[in-house]
Structure 1
């Protein structure tokens, strides 16, 4: 069974997504019902919803929307990784409120679309440090050219648990990058970082990707972090641009076919259950 740590629900009737107008084929509704139909067929048993960069004024509305999805009979949704703005005043109060809500499991601020200096700003760094010693995780979605700044953030917050999304967004379509390869190694040396095996389809040839085209990136990430510090995510609906949920699940099984049942279980679900106490 798989624990999906990276589902995006998009409901344009319920919430506002300023970025969607420039998102091409993703500019559509992608509802939980559409995901769940395939997820159940693929053996997914638990899900965390990942924030979808809604309009800042709608952040709490997104969490409450997903909460209602989680309350439906038979829902797979166990919690949310909520949006946040650590670069702004008010984060401390938001954290305190969220920490009292067991449905909120962590936070993400999408940094690969933010100014490159965002994570270097003193207020941002100090606000992220407030997560130290809490049950909350912080997801990092960054590009390789931002690695130096993000590594400095991780070092500034050694007691915060970070999740590195999408194998750190490797530029697969352009071939193996030394910046990415060395960056993964550096991130893995920080014991407070866990890598998420997700999203890699989007960085290759969407129409012609193969298991073998993904293998060097997935294997380098898992080899660097080890089986105790990796989790799995679908990145649905982004994965639908490269074929859908079922092909990505099949690729995951193929990529790990030579691994032990214990190793696969850690990646597939056990580590996620431990990290988020589910």
Structure 2
């Protein structure tokens, strides 16, 4: 099996933070998804380390979440080798102070979820300047957008050439709707920018109910791979959102099947080596 570094591990602790976005999603609502459960699900699946990904907690709680997980990562056997924290690049107030604090929290990168925000949020000069500041600190920026927003993602990445941009979930294609043409073109435009990397994650959750299979997502993976190349792709579980499909063990099996069809070098790059490179892991 291919060794995996999970660059998109969510954890849900309702006693630490609020997760309002889960309220209308029965598999996720009002439930905890702790590290102990993740470790159980990934046992014997060659997950050799994780990067915690901020979980879209309520605005008042995103700093508390990062602090909590930074402490969790210090526990023996946590497997957490870094944190991707939430930030608010659209607002200068307190932005630098938060980056300074995160330097002490083991934060490897940042994310601002954009698929639930106005499409033009990332186009402002303030947003771009602050994403540029991440690159100056050697931190990555995870780009989470809907397909209709990807052109703005291209513009943001082009405006921040010294910041490594990690495109979440292969650009969130509309797999259930079968709308592939515009997504394909925008993926090629993103891949043309050398500072953009693609994350293999989330795809099964975008399939129509009952159709979350490797066969259905394979064309989307194939296009992402052709566009970016294995040396610009990383892997992520997107747990517990993957529960909207067939669960984490199924995604791990599908992952091993897809990567197993590649050369050993390509599989290793997607599974772990590209993550080591862009997040500075050892």
Place the TM-score, normalised by the shorter chain, in its bin: over 0.9
**Aligned: 1:169 with 2:179:** no
C-alpha offsets along residues 234-267 of structure 1, whole Å, 9 cap, x if unaligned?
0000112211111111111222232111110111
Q: In the alignment, which of 8, 11, 14 is matched to residue 10 of structure 2?
A: 8
Select the residue among 12, 17, 20 that pairs with 2:19.
17
Distance verdict in 2 for CA 1:97–1:71, change over 3 Å: closer
TM-fit CA distance, 1:132 = 2.8
Give 1:15 deviation, angstroms: 1.2
* Structure 1 residue 40 displacement after superposition: 2.0
Give the stretch that moved more between structures: 113-122 or 160-169.
113-122
Q: Which residue of structure 1 aligns with residue 112 of structure 2? A: 109
Matched, 1:208 2:232: no
Paired residue secondary structure (2:255) = helix
Please tell me whether residue 132 in structure 1 is matched to residue 135 in structure 2. Answer: yes
Q: TM-score, normalised by structure 2?
A: 0.94
TM-score using structure 1 length: 0.96
Which residues of 2 match residues 1-278 of structure 1 at below 5 A?
A: 1-27=3-29, 28-89=31-92, 90-98=94-102, 100-101=103-104, 103-278=106-281
Conservation of the 8 A alpha-carbon contact between 2:138 and 2:163: no
Per-residue CA shift, 1:207-229, capped at 9, x if unaligned? 22211101000010011101110
Distance of 1:74 and 1:267 partners within structure 2: 24
Cα shift at 1:101: 2.1
* Runs of 4+ with >6 A deviation: none
Instruction: Compute the displacement of 1:68 (Å).
Output: 2.2
Q: Counterparts of 1:116 and 1:51 in 2: how far apart (Å)?
A: 21
Aligned residues: 277
Distance apart, 1:231 and its partner CA? 0.2
Residue aligned with 2:151, SS? helix
Q: CA shift at 1:64, angstroms? A: 1.5
**Cα deviation code 1:79-131 (max 9, x no counterpart):** 11000111112212222332x32610000000001111110122111111112
Q: Is the 8 A contact 2:135 2:163 kept in 1?
A: yes
Instruction: Indicate the larger mover: 13-22 or 261-270.
Output: 13-22
Structure 2 residues not aligned, in runs of 5+: none
Deviation at 1:174, TM superposition (A): 1.0
Provide the secondary structure at the position in 2 that maps to 1:174. Answer: coil
